[in-house]
Structure 1
């Protein structure tokens, strides 16, 4: 997909902003460039769409040398999102999203349909199409900036700290949203950030840079387990390294595989009995195929028991769940940020396969910090 072949960027007086970079990125990968200020990460990214021209070496996009492609045509093949997204205030949301398709002379109806379908990907309704940027929140504007980069269906998207200006809660939500979107659409992403937690959460592989050189280029887990040198160790931080236990990586390894769950046709009376017998205050709700539908809890039952008879009448559907294979460290972050008590685990078809509770995580956290090795290693899950 994308190949750097001994690429350097040299400025006046011989300063090497980027020094002899050689690496390859596969189709559909999410690559994060990270390093201290001035390490060359943004310069590296901008050379891909020739906002900055390489001094030495070559960059190949799908086997074609980008220096042989007209810069304007090249940029129309590549999506680009920056921190200050720069929506045009006098244009509607539809016009902002459809900017590149219009330049590519797509028919008006095709542009509108594309904009409408993209909005649904980020849980925004079609009525947003006729609004203007000032009518949107910061998080919504950032979503539109991302959609604009996706509008012409370019296979490669460049992103320069796109979530850096957002508040932590909105930022966390958008990170999760965008990672799911990238996986669904199969786009290749080159993403610049200075935030190691963001890199660990989003990346398939992380390129750590220092003084224009590539120090380590590997998966998040491999970098956490085997930092290339002391610079990488210090850049990652001791706390993150302490949590990088090779034997506990995903929620599958710590989840309770028999969560307490009921079907929607169970009566509230029986639901209360199950809660009492299993000593829980919440029940997950599943359908006949064991797909997760939501949950009910004691408070919900107490409020509705006089006017409802079965679980399906009061099920709460706004439930946060994670997929099998999700990293434990990401789940821990969700517990801390959202203040939740548990997280259901589902497979790709949304079948309920387990649950992670705060108690499940206690041993993982304690072992990460003090190395006791009790609980999880012995198969004991609270």
Structure 2
């Protein structure tokens, strides 16, 4: 899909911003470039669609040298998403989504159909098509920015820190949404970020750069297990959980317990009795097929017991859940960020299979930092 051959970028007679870079990116791969400021990651990405020209070497896109292609036509064939989103404020959401289609002289019918089709991909209602960017939240605007990049169905999408300006919760949900979308559509993504957690979560391969050169390009797990050198180790951060426990990588490996559940039409009286008997202050709500519907806690019952009778009348339906193959490192960050006591674990049909608790995480953290305690005891003995 994309190949860099001895690519160098030099401004005037200064030191090379990118130096003899070689990299092959396969169709459908999600590649994240990361590194300290000035390492050349953004320059590398912008050379792909010729926003910046190559000084030496060549970049092949679908087997063709980009320098032999018309830059305007090249850019129209590659999706591009930036942190600032760049929606046109005077255009409706529909007009923003199909902007490239307008430049390509699509018919109105085709533009309408494509805009509606894309909105469905991110579960946004069709009435949004007639709104303007200022009427949308930051997360919604960024979704539209992504859809605009997808509109002409390009095989390659470039993304320059697209989620960097969003709040952590919105950022988490958009990352998950986009990764799922990328897999469904089999798009090749070149993604620039300064956030290592984001790179490890999204990428099939992470490309770590320093001083215009690639230091290491590998899968997230391989980089975490076998960093190429001390720079990579320091850049990753020794506090990352998986560094200490490479044997524990997914939620499924520490999922445990049998969640206490009720069904939607359970009375509040029975729900509170269940909490008392099981010594818990919240219950997960599942249907007859064990599909997770939401949760109810003691506070919701206390606030609503005089005006409601059943669980489904007061339960919270927006609930954060993970699957057994979710990466543990991502789940840890989300649990801590949300201050959650536990997180439900579901299968691909959203059926409840277990829970992951803060207590289970505490055990992992303890083992990571102190192991079996011998290292601490040996250190103490040396001090004495």
CA shift, 1:10, in A, is 3.2
| Matched-pair contact (CA < 8 Å) for 1:243–1:329 | no
Alignment pair present for 1:166 and 2:178: no
1:71-116 per-residue CA deviation (whole Å, 9 max, x = no partner) reads 2222111100112222222211211111011122222122123223
Secondary structure of the residue aligned to 1:256 is coil
**Pair 1:244–1:143, CA change in 2 (3 A):** farther
Match in the other structure for 2:93: 93
Match in the other structure for 1:356: 356
Match in the other structure for 1:197: 197
Match in the other structure for 1:72: 72
Match in the other structure for 2:81: 81
Match in the other structure for 1:286: 286
User: For this pair of structures, how many residues does the alignment match?
Assistant: 374
**Pair 1:293–1:213, CA change in 2 (3 A):** same
Contiguous gaps of at least 5 residues in structure 1:
375-382
Secondary structure of the residue aligned to 1:345 is strand
Match in the other structure for 1:52: 52
| Matched-pair contact (CA < 8 Å) for 2:6–2:58 | yes
Contiguous gaps of at least 5 residues in structure 2:
375-384
Match in the other structure for 1:315: 315
TM-score of the superposed pair, with normalisation by structure 1: 0.89
Secondary structure of the residue aligned to 1:31 is strand
Secondary structure of the residue aligned to 1:13 is coil
Match in the other structure for 2:378: none
1:315-342 per-residue CA deviation (whole Å, 9 max, x = no partner) reads 3211111122111111111112112221
| Matched-pair contact (CA < 8 Å) for 1:261–1:284 | yes
Q: Which moved more, 1:360-369 or 1:123-132?
A: 123-132
Distance 1:167 1:343 in 2: 21
| Matched-pair contact (CA < 8 Å) for 1:82–1:159 | yes
Distance 2:147 2:166 in 1: 17
Distance 2:323 2:186 in 1: 18
| Matched-pair contact (CA < 8 Å) for 1:257–1:353 | no
Q: Which moved more, 1:37-46 or 1:260-269?
A: 260-269
Matches within 5 A, 1:128-139: 128-139=128-139
Alignment pair present for 1:151 and 2:151: yes
Matches within 5 A, 1:111-260: 111-240=111-240, 243-260=243-260
Which consecutive segments of 4 or more residues in structure 1 shift more than 6 A?
Answer: none
